[in-house]
Amino acid sequence: MGRSEHHIVLSTPASSGLSGPVLRALSTAREALEAAGYGTVAPGPEPRAQLHVDETIAGRPASGLADFFSLAAPRAQDFGARLGGPVGRIVLPVMPYDLLYPKLWRQQAQRVAMPDFAQIAPELAGRSRGWVALAQDILAAFAPRELIVLPMPQGADEILAALLPDLALTVGAGAARPAMPDTAIAMMQRFHRAGLALPARQIARLVQFHARQPQPAPLAAFDALDAARLRKRYQADLSQLAALPGLRIAQETCLPLAAE
């Protein structure tokens, strides 16, 4: 059953906002985990823990935009060495490239000044490194008993089910953090480019105001041709991933891809 192994949720920006609820759900289910023979929970490579929720291996949105998380390999190797024990399941959330890159841009644009998405879209659309390379990095570093690729969009409950299929853990009700509207991101970009920093409370009011406003065409999106090519590439990558030894795609929870 793998109860003497380490099990890891490898959070990526594709699953942003979910690692916190997953970690809280695991932390509040101590009795159930102990009864099932699992150990404690940690947000990093704590060797005394058995369940880990990590955001550092893949890295921040900027890392995905720069070179599709190329630093994951050395970070995973360091993480595995610090665990000092065998790894059972690793859950890796993934997302279609035509949705992922705009999401990364939006996440980064909330924090710093960014070039317009249209300027970087051609380079992103032609990039060769992707989910297959990242999965290979993870397999090489950890040699897990099973790497579970979880296509997004999914919720924290699905991540928990992939991590601990023998337990029926749920996150429970809770208000999800709303995404920042594009009109608010556009205004944030004007502030960032002007070198202005807003207090968190003012940003929250800004988001609330823009959430009630009509939204124009997306700030970050590929043109129809590149989007179709990226979606086909993602589907091809899922097939390639499914053929890797020790890897399983959680297709039973995968939502249908949009028609091209």
Measuring CA to CA, how many Å separate 226 from each of 62, 122, 124, 222?
Answer: 21, 8, 10, 6
Burial of 91 (0-12, 13-18, 19+ CB in 10 A): buried
Please give the pLDDT value at position 3.
58
- CA 166 vs. chain centroid, Å, equals 23
Please give the pLDDT value at position 130.
97
The tally of domains found in the chain comes to 1
Q: Alpha-carbon torsion 30, 34, 35, 36, what sign? A: positive
Please give the pLDDT value at position 255.
42
Q: Within a domain: residue 73?
A: yes
Query: How far is 214 from 211, CA to CA, in rounded Å?
Result: 8
Query: How far is 191 from 35, CA to CA, in rounded Å?
Result: 52
Q: Alpha-carbon torsion 76, 85, 149, 138, what sign? A: positive
Q: Provide the domain limits for residue 138.
A: 6-100+128-176+233-253
Please give the pLDDT value at position 175.
47
Q: Within a domain: residue 79?
A: yes
Q: pTM for the complete prediction?
A: 0.87
Q: Within a domain: residue 59?
A: yes
Q: Are 109 and 209 in contact (CB under 8 A)?
A: no
Query: How far is 248 from 147, CA to CA, in rounded Å?
Result: 6
Q: Within a domain: residue 115?
A: no
Please give the pLDDT value at position 256.
40
Ordered per-residue pLDDT tens for the chain, 260 residues: 445 799 999 999 888 888 889 998 998 888 888 888 888 899 989 888 999 999 999 989 999 999 999 999 999 999 999 998 999 999 999 999 999 999 999 999 988 999 999 999 999 999 999 999 999 999 999 999 999 999 988 889 999 999 999 888 888 655 456 678 888 888 888 888 888 887 778 778 887 887 777 777 788 999 999 999 999 999 999 999 999 999 999 964 444 443 33
Please give the pLDDT value at position 138.
97
**Diameter of the chain measured on Cα atoms:** 56
Q: Within a domain: residue 74?
A: yes
Query: How far is 163 from 208, CA to CA, in rounded Å?
Result: 35
Please give the pLDDT value at position 92.
96
Q: Which residues pair with 92 in a beta bridge?
A: 149
Q: Within a domain: residue 193?
A: no
Q: Alpha-carbon torsion 200, 52, 23, 182, what sign? A: positive
